[in-house]
Amino acid sequence: MPWVTSGDVDICWESHGNGEPVLLISGVSGGTWSWEEQLEAWSSRFRLIVFDHMGAGRSSMPDRPYRIEEMADHAAAVLDSAGEKRAHVVGLSMGGMVAQELSLNHAYRVVSLVLGCTHCGGRNRVPPDPEVIRLFVDNQGLTPEEIVDKNLAILVTPEFLQSGEDVLTRYRERQLRAPIQPSYALRRQLEAIRSFDSCDRIGAIAVPTLILTGDRDTLVPPENGRLLASRISGAVEKSFSSSGHLIYLESAQQFQETVMRFIQNHSSTLAK
């Protein structure tokens, strides 16, 4: 697997499939493994580029302040290492924040933009219930299996959690195979989210933008998607009904078809 160095951080990345490049940016604690369902669905049509965030997976985990802008620099460095000048960009949750900064600070690199279950930070964001955050970050004394199950109860709807869908089993297996994230690295990523604020700047995003929300997302309430749509010119918003935060899991087929169609509609704008 390839690596790229950006500042004092080594970022691990992978490439799957062939076609127009699509950079997939995962959420907090996430990395290359987060996208296995999408790699299977999309790699026959696109070149999919995925990477482990600083503080997760096989990338460096320095114990110092992290910033979302820095993570966007890492994403740009991954594109450089992959030999791609420009790409379609899909970012979910924290990855959506990274994608916003990539679109603002490395604007030429982004052909089209998909922001899923994310917010623009600052005082304008609509926060979750404090108890949701407390449960999400409190892993003390829990086994990896218990952490995964505890988080799933937050990230998807109770109905989906009780459905017994095979996709839930595969998700659990992926999470348990992933390298264990030290508690300090999770804290550093969460601090980066808390300090993030693009709300007064995202009006400068000038690429076609699709904003996706889950109408029952308790971690990033869907009102945040409507705020993003109101501040990014021409942005299109789509809500997935009866879906929690993990829209790519709970509404997998609809999510995959929606994103693929959006990228294909804007594929002619990618200049090599």
Mean pLDDT of 27-34: 95
The pTM (predicted TM-score) of the whole model is 0.96
User: Which of the four pLDDT bands, split at 50, 70 and 90, describes residue 272?
Assistant: very low
Task: Give the whole-angstrom CA distance, residue 103 versus residue 236.
Answer: 16
DSSP 237-268: EEEETT--S-HHHHTHHHHHHHHHHHHHHTGG
Structure confidence by residue, pLDDT tens digits, 150-209 = 999 999 999 999 997 899 999 999 999 999 999 999 999 999 999 999 999 999 999 999
Structure confidence by residue, pLDDT tens digits, 1-20 = 799 999 999 999 999 999 99
Q: Is 233 helix (H, G, I), strand (E, B) or coil?
A: coil
Torsion angle (degrees, nearest 10) of CA 154, 157, 160, 162: 70
Q: Supply φ then ψ for residue 127, to 5 degrees.
A: -80, 160
pLDDT at 165: 86
Provide CB contacts within 8 A for 44, sequence distance 6+: 17
**pLDDT at residue 268 tops 70:** no
Whether 190 and 128 have beta carbons less than 8 Å apart is answered as no
Q: What is the mean pLDDT of the chain?
A: 95
Q: Which CATH number fits domain 3-269: 3.30.230.70, 3.40.50.150, 3.30.413.10, 3.40.50.1820?
A: 3.40.50.1820
Mean pLDDT of 88-92: 98
Domain ranges of the chain: 3-269
